[in-house]
Amino acid sequence: MGFQYSFIYLSSCILQWVINGFGTSVIGAFTATSQIENLIQQPFTALGTAMATYTGQNIGAGKTDRIKQGLLSALKICVVYSLLLLLVFWGFGRTIMNIFVSDTAIIENAVRGIHITSIFFIALGTAQILRYLLNGAGDSAYSMVNGIIEIVCRLVFVFLLTNISFIGQWGIWWTTALTWFCTALFAFGRFMSDKWKERGIVK
């Protein structure tokens, strides 16, 4: 997990370097949307923490089939919460941004940015829940590979998308969103492979 979060932090630093090249209004907008995203993902983290404990307990008890039932329940909560957030940010995005910033240019950028990332909140929640589940199972290989995938996605997407003329600065938010999607997809694939069960068994 230490390596995983180190990779994530490194990719965030590189992303911030690209953002700085677009000027103060984009920097302010990305900061605002990032703060909001950090706030709204706390329930995802709470669900993930619960799944980590639940997974560890059930592996210890030899009842790995129960883990899928718990995951399904957590994902249902994730979907409902994500859809509610999607409606809130698309319906009241400007009002919410006015609470955080007063500059008109920053608000305009932030509203459009949060419209992009809010579509992928389900992916963010899924990635968080599965990340904690697999870490709770002791799947250290997943943590390492996931960290690498995240940094590669951020590097590839941010340099590719921001250099496409009709995307430009919006590639920053698309990078965040698509990175969530890719890490969620990888985590789901890892879970479905059942290899984490082998990692979590103490022989």
Q: Where do the structural domains in the chain lie, given as residue ranges? A: 2-195
pTM: 0.89
Q: Residue 131, exposed/middle/buried by CB under 10 A (0-12, 13-18, 19+)?
A: buried
Mean pLDDT of 169-192: 94
Which of 169, 177, 161 is CA-nearest to residue 118? 177
**CA atoms within 13 A of residue 29's CA, in its CB half-sphere:** 26
pLDDT tens column, 61-93: 888 888 989 999 999 999 999 999 999 999 999
